Amino acid sequence: MGMPELRTAAYFTLGCKLNFAETSTIGKILASQGITRCQRGGTPDICVVNTCSVTQMADKKGRSLIRRITARYPDATVVVTGCYAQLKPEEVASIPGVDIVLGSDEKLRIEEFLDRWLRERCLTTAVTPMKDIRTFRHSCERGDRTRWFLKVQDGCDYFCTYCTIPFARGRSRSPRISELVDQARRVAAAGGREIVLTGVNIGDFGKGGDETFFQLIRALDQVEGISRFRISSIEPNLLTPEIIRWVARESRAFMPHFHIPLQSGSYEVLRLMHRRYDIGLFEDRVRLIRSEIPDAFIGVDVIAGARGETPERWQEALRFIENLPVTRLHVFPYSERPGTVALTLDGEVPVHERHQRVATLTDISERKLRAFMQNAVGTEQEVLWEAPVRPGAPVHGFTRNYLRVVAPVGKEVVNTISNVRVTGLHLSESETLSAVPS
């Protein structure tokens, strides 16, 4: 078909890995129409802004990014999509210079709307209400030379009280295992070695159908040519002992690397958040991983200063987290989201106190990570090498348990796996190990 008036596009992405992967998919869709990525310093005909809405701050960032873009490229066709567009289409459409507002379900149908815009030249807002979205839109994107991101699930049915994702991304839905296996095979054929499974609530894969997440990972594990799989993040109640034991004992390519959202180490706060587990279940899962795979990387998300996190509960949470044998914490300050049940809860924590709690948790995280890295010193590790992050930077790679390693190796090792002996913590690159080939 082609759109002769629109030749180049620039892409702007905020938010999560899924958004970044979907922006790449949009790029591919437009490339198939002959619209190429605008060179640095050029003036794009189209600007695609893929927004996030995970916090109020994210909305604000989205708005100011859109304003900067419309000011800088007044003649460009500006398309705004992503969670902010889905949740507040009118607000987005009212920003001067925005031409097309696409919701989550319309995101990957961009060419249709550009085509319409070329014919009609009037502001289009196309947003399907979340409750009506049932379709799963595929996304499988290369992050860099070695790592690919395969979307296996979208949406969430959990409605945790602080979160708007279920409103922004809709009900939980996923494709058939056979489709995902085909995509993984295509990644292998294109030379990809590692696949990260992405989604909003991945463990919910297959909900309401006849397939399960456990069946999915066992099927993917058989795909030849893919050396490594990682599960980006999984709810603790869905990371069953069965899955943990399978990764530890039987899986060929699923790495000893887990990312599990805890959100709060206080029993009561978890209850107020309507999470589907308690601290007892969480601790059981972590201890099972540790006993099955002593050197597994366990990353944990924590929200600091949520509604109801009184000083006593905070102290309880802190003790719980300190004693948890995890590798690192990903800490976020609680942020109010309009329309969420959390806003009706008592016990607001002042913002400066939230930040103090973030700092305390960050300290704990740094200590834990350092100890974990220190434990790796002197060990043999299998590393999958990646292209340097910038020209002149050293080749780096990741161990099976997701530790970054730099070693005196040449570029020819990129995209291959080899063994190293870890010699110490890297002096100038943070969170990196030094190693020598072994």
Rule CB under 6 A: is residue 166 a binding residue for ligand SF4?
yes
Shortest distance, position 156 Cβ to ligand SF4, whole Å:
3
Rule CB under 6 A: is residue 159 a binding residue for ligand SF4?
yes
Q: Quick one: tokens of 14?
A: 């905020």
Q: Which of 110, 160, 270, 383 touches ligand SF4 by CB under 6 A?
A: 160
Question: What distances in angstroms separate CA 160 from CA 116, 174, 235, 275, 304, one per listed residue?
Answer: 38, 20, 12, 6, 15
Q: Which of 158, 246, 267, 320 touches ligand SF4 by CB under 6 A?
A: 158
Shortest distance, position 315 Cβ to ligand SF4, whole Å:
24
- In degrees and rounded to multiples of 5, residue 302 shows phi and psi of -135, 135
Rule CB under 6 A: is residue 192 a binding residue for ligand SF4?
no
Rule CB under 6 A: is residue 336 a binding residue for ligand SF4?
no
- What is the footprint of ligand SF4 within residues 117-156 (CB under 6 A)? 156
Q: Which stretch binds ligand SF4 (CB under 6 A): 106-114, 158-166, 395-403, 418-426?
A: 158-166
3-state secondary structure of 423: strand
Rule CB under 6 A: is residue 201 a binding residue for ligand SF4?
yes
CB neighbours of residue 437 within 10 Å: 12
Nearer to ligand SF4, 113 or 277 (CB): 277
Q: Strand order in 328-333's β-sheet?
A: 257-263, 297-304, 328-333
Q: Strand order in 140-142's β-sheet?
A: 140-142, 147-151, 194-198, 228-231
- What is the footprint of ligand SF4 within residues 232-261 (CB under 6 A)? 235
3-state secondary structure of 178: helix
Nearer to ligand SF4, 171 or 176 (CB): 171
Rule CB under 6 A: is residue 163 a binding residue for ligand SF4?
yes
Rule CB under 6 A: is residue 54 a binding residue for ligand SF4?
no
Residues 342, 274: Cα–Cα separation, whole Å: 10
Rule CB under 6 A: is residue 68 a binding residue for ligand SF4?
no
Q: Which of 96, 164, 80 is nearest to 339 (CA)?
A: 164
Contact residues toward ligand SF4 (CB under 6 A) are 156, 158-160, 163, 165-166, 200-201, 235
